[in-house]
Amino acid sequence: MGLQNDIDLLNPLIELEKKMHKLKLLVLTVNSFFMIYVCVGINFFSLGVGFCLVKDVKCQGCFNITTMFSHSQTVVVCGNCQTVLCQPTGGKARLTEGCTFR
């Protein structure tokens, strides 16, 4: 006879782990990471450090490399062409409009 709310505490579901606060996870980890933006022609390529993610973000073009924190609290601009890369929000930084991801 089990209750409806029975969950496996040793092997939690990934969906439940993503919704939990970072201090209530089974294995404590942070939700932030550094992103590296490379301005190549009209595309920025960002590599999430520690992840296997590659994101393409469009720009005016300048061949500059910018490292940005995922939860940045200030506006991040490209060093050469002064294009705004992201806007701060309450949590993760929001990339500018027109950005495409893959």
pTM surpassing 0.85? no
38 backbone dihedrals φ, ψ, rounded to 5°: -115, 115
Task: State pLDDT tens for residues 52-100.
Answer: 233 445 455 565 666 677 777 888 777 777 778 778 888 777 877 655 4
> Considering only CA atoms, which of 16, 48, 37 is closest in space to residue 96?
37
Give all domains of the chain, ordered by start, each with its CATH number. Answer: 35-102 (2.20.25)
Those residues with Cβ within 8 angstroms of residue 54's Cβ, 6 or more apart along the chain or in another chain: 45, 46, 47, 102
Q: Give the helix/strand (H/E) hosting 34.
A: strand 34-40
Q: Are residues 64 and 77 in contact, defined by beta-carbon separation less than 8 angstroms?
A: no
* Per-residue pLDDT reduced to its tens digit, 12-40: 788 887 788 877 877 777 666 666 555 44
